Amino acid sequence: MLASASLTAADKLKLVPAPAAADFRTTERAFGESEAFVSIPLRLEGGPADFSFGVHSVTSTLTMDQGATISTVHRYGNPSLECELAAASALGFATPARAPLQYVTVVDCALDRFRQLQGQSGKLTATFSLDEMHYETIARLPVRAGAELKADGELSRIFSTQFINGTYDVGFQFARVDPVLGTRLTAWPNHYVLVNSKRGEYSESRGGNSSGSGGPEMMTFVTSHNLFIETRRAQTSEVAGKVDASWLADAEFYFLIGKEVQGSPVSLSFTMDKLTIPTAQVTRHFIVINPDGTRDEFDR
């Protein structure tokens, strides 16, 4: 647990459903019950910009207009609720105050039942259990292959750097041996950031791939390729340009991990008067016009 950060009071946090269609995905099995998962776009308001809130579980009841009910306890597969620039905020850079939308699973049921209810509406009541995390810098390295840091049973190492079709790829490895048997030290959520202090700019990783392992009585190990494209101004987070060789000459690589705040999880509840079981999946690029006229765009 992270003792230096304070748990955000539940009365400061609010889950706000967006005025947009629900989405769904299905899992079909040759043996065992096939399932459907219904998700809705949510925004978590009131959270600090440099924190991440992991969805530990969702407990919900959907009461259909015809009287049928679906009760759900969903524990896995939901995204973290955090500002897009949470890591930049943790490094002291200015970031937009508005929280992004995230699709979060609130209902799951048997696939056959889901198909019977598609197009019908009901009232949703849900309680979220959220694990609050605060981002900390684990490693700060010069941007070059072979750069590494060993400290406190941890190893951070850049094993490759290269430009690929105008995108800068940094290959990175992180390993940590759990100091106490039976404890679990994870390396997720995490972020990768390049910082050019001389120019007052930074670049967050936007894409790539990652693999890892970890658990009780094990070591935590992460290997990732992280893609950097655009740079942003530290004072405003506005886009400044693109990562190139001259920009990298004065840059450093930062690896940040979210540490759980003491006192987590926190519980939040909300009610959605009308949730329609979707008949079509949401397109990949989604645009929402909010009641106040602001516009959200995100990939799904």
Tell me: do 155 and 80 sit in the same domain.
no
Q: Please tell me the least confidently modeled range out of 8-22, 39-53, 85-99.
A: 85-99
Tell me: do 171 and 227 sit in the same domain.
yes
Tell me: do 67 and 156 sit in the same domain.
no
115 in helix, strand or coil? helix
Q: Is the pLDDT of residue 200 over 60?
A: yes
Tell me: do 18 and 83 sit in the same domain.
yes
Tell me: do 148 and 73 sit in the same domain.
no
Q: Is the pLDDT of residue 229 over 50?
A: yes
Backbone angles phi, psi at 116, to 5 degrees: -70, -30
At residue 224, the pLDDT reads: 95
Q: Considering the chain, what is the average pLDDT of its residues?
A: 88
Q: How many domains does the chain have?
A: 2
Flag whether 50 is in a domain: yes
Maximum mean pLDDT: which of 32-36, 74-78, 229-233: 229-233
Flag whether 2 is in a domain: no
Q: Is the pLDDT of residue 180 over 80?
A: no
Tell me: do 89 and 190 sit in the same domain.
no
Q: What is the CATH number of the domain that holds 25?
A: 2.60.40
Residues 6+ apart with CB under 8 A from 41: 17, 18, 20, 101, 102, 103, 104, 286, 288
Tell me: do 238 and 189 sit in the same domain.
yes
CA 163 – CA 146 distance, rounded (Å): 17
Tell me: do 190 and 129 sit in the same domain.
no
Return the half-sphere exposure (C-beta side, CA atoms, 13 A cut-off) of residue 120: 16
Average pLDDT over residues 126-136: 94
CA 242 – CA 197 distance, rounded (Å): 15
- The CA-to-CA distance between both ends of the chain, in Å, stands at 32
Flag whether 283 is in a domain: yes
Tell me: do 147 and 203 sit in the same domain.
yes
Tell me: do 129 and 266 sit in the same domain.
yes
At residue 70, the pLDDT reads: 97
Q: Is the pLDDT of residue 179 over 60?
A: no
Q: Is the pLDDT of residue 235 over 70?
A: yes
Q: Is the pLDDT of residue 284 over 80?
A: no
240-269 pLDDT per residue, tens: 999 999 999 999 999 999 998 988 899 999
Average pLDDT over residues 217-231: 85
CA 43 – CA 55 distance, rounded (Å): 13
Flag whether 5 is in a domain: no
Flag whether 4 is in a domain: no
Flag whether 24 is in a domain: yes
Across 224-254, b (16+ Cβ under 10 Å) vs e yields: bbbbbeebbbbeebeebeebeeebbeebbbb
> Residue 127 is part of which domain span?
10-133+262-299
Flag whether 1 is in a domain: no
Q: Which residues pair with 43 in a beta bridge?
A: 16
At residue 197, the pLDDT reads: 97
Tell me: do 270 and 189 sit in the same domain.
no
At residue 208, the pLDDT reads: 87
Across 192-223, b (16+ Cβ under 10 Å) vs e yields: bbbbbeebebbbbbeebeeebebeeeeebbbb
Query: Quick one: what percent of the chain has pLDDT higher than 70?
Result: 86
Flag whether 294 is in a domain: yes
At residue 296, the pLDDT reads: 62
Q: Please tell me the least confidently modeled range out of 36-45, 99-108, 235-244.
A: 99-108
Q: Is the pLDDT of residue 81 over 60?
A: yes
Tell me: do 122 and 153 sit in the same domain.
no
At residue 249, the pLDDT reads: 97
Higher-confidence residue of 65 and 20: namely: 65
Q: What is the pTM of this model?
A: 0.82
